């Protein structure tokens, strides 16, 4: 009888030990490095499904998430609303876009799993204090990448990109126009050069974007066509224009960030005329004509409107550069390699 009791005790002890080991080894939030989140500076989740939302990074994030999924990293988009809620996720990578300072990166690993990889995808300029505590910084500025690396930041140059299944030549007769400018007017910034130079030189342009109601008035009121173009319709507008106009925020010029509009519009086979940036020149040479003054703006616009063969030749040359070097599948492959190498070097499972 005593022997049977001992056997029962041993069996029970075995069960208890087994359960203990099961509990000890069970991690309900074990990180998965085949999964990622992209945190966007959008207040409410409902705006994620709004394809006219006036924030270019939203659409870049959507394109990034789609391409990451294709390359084996299941990726979801989150907003500030999600970040402040009690969400349960096990993504191994958290990618921040334009939201680093608000999330106080210096305390990030105090609250998140220590093995989660914090990635800052820099598409607009940050300061050193904002990026130095990220595990990985991916910056679209060659100039800033050099600076960050000299300061000991784990930084990598990663240019912006275009999705070739989303931006391609697809003209529509009803959308034909000479000069197209698709951009928002930035709050607290001077009037954008494209519009200012057009007004100064009497060049009429078609403007789509937000915050123009107090700028495009009087004789220029007819220039403003709509607050937004649905993002999935942009290729039709770009492809149907003779020329797509581009300009760049002053802080982005100083930091060396190229507008994503350059990549998207050139992928559609349309000539882009832009304000001058050496970074654009380094990539595209003279296939993207650039101006420094209102007079140069006028000269370029008038010349290429009156020389359609030369316009098309340069547009196709720029398109070739974009498709060969800045297609999403190629750029995001570089990103995936950087993420996977980091996890491997750290020994994360």
* 283-288, long-range: CB < 8 A, 24+ apart: 283/258, 283/321, 283/325, 284/318, 284/321, 286/314, 287/314, 287/315, 287/317, 287/318, 287/321, 288/262, 288/314, 288/318
Which structure tokens are listed for 184?
Answer: 């928002």
Q: What is the pLDDT of residue 21?
A: 47
Low-confidence spans in the chain with pLDDT less than 70: 1-29, 83-88, 98-104, 349
Claim to verify: residue 178 and residue 198 sit in the same structural domain: yes
Asked whether residue 166 is domain-assigned, the answer is no
CATH at residue 229: 3.40.50.2000
pLDDT in the model for residue 12:
60
The count of domains in the chain is 2
Ramachandran angles phi, psi of 136, nearest 5°: -135, 135
Residue 100, pLDDT score: 46
145 and 233 belong to one structural domain: no
Which residues constitute the domain of residue 276?
173-325
Tokens 């123009």 correspond to: 212
Query: What's the CA gap between 83 and 87, in Å, rounded?
Result: 7
Distance separating alpha carbons of residues 17 and 21, to the nearest angstrom: 6
Query: What Cα–Cα distance (Å) separates residue 44 from each residue in 81, 264, 276?
Result: 5, 27, 36
Maximal CA-CA distance, the chain: 106
Q: Which pLDDT does position 121 carry in this prediction?
A: 92
Chain segment 80-109, per-residue pLDDT in tens: 777 655 455 789 999 988 654 455 677 777
Within-domain flag for 13: no
Same domain, 153 and 235: no
pLDDT of residue 24: 43
């Amino acid at each position: 009888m005593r022997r049977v009791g001992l056997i029962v005790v041993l069996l029970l002890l075995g069960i208890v030990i087994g359960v203990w080991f099961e509990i000890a080894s069970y991690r309900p939030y074990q990180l998965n490095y085949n999964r990622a989140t992209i945190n966007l500076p959008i207040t409410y989740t409902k705006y994620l499904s709004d394809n006219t939302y006036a924030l270019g990074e939203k659409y870049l994030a959507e394109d990034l998430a789609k391409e990451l999924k294709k390359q084996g990293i299941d990726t979801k988009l989150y907003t500030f609303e999600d970040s402040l809620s009690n969400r349960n996720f096990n993504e191994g990578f958290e990618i921040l876009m334009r939201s680093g300072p608000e999330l106080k990166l210096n305390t990030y690993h105090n609250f998140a799993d220590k093995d989660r990889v914090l990635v800052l995808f820099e598409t607009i300029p940050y300061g050193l204090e904002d990026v130095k505590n990220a595990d990985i910084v991916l910056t679209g500025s060659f100039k800033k990448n050099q600076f960050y690396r000299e300061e000991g930041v784990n930084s990598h140059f990663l240019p912006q990109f275009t999705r070739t299944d989303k931006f391609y030549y697809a003209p529509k007769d009803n959308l034909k126009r000479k000069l197209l400018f698709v951009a928002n007017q930035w709050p607290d910034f001077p009037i954008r050069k494209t519009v200012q130079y057009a007004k100064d030189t009497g060049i009429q342009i078609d403007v789509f974007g937000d915050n123009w109601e107090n700028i495009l008035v009087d004789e220029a009121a007819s220039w403003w066509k709509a607050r937004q173009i649905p993002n999935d319709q942009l290729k039709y507008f770009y492809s149907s224009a003779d020329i797509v106009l581009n300009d760049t925020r002053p802080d982005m010029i100083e930091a060396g960030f190229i507008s994503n509009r350059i990549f998207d519009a050139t992928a559609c086979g349309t000539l882009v005329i832009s304000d001058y940036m050496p970074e654009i020149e380094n990539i595209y040479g003279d296939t993207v004509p650039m101006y420094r003054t209102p007079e140069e703006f006028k000269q370029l616009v008038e010349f290429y409107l009156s020389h359609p063969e030369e316009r098309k030749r340069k547009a196709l040359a720029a398109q070739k550069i974009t498709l060969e070097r800045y297609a999403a599948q190629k750029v995001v492959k570089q990103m995936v390699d950087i993420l996977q190498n980091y996890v491997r070097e750290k020994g994360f499972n």
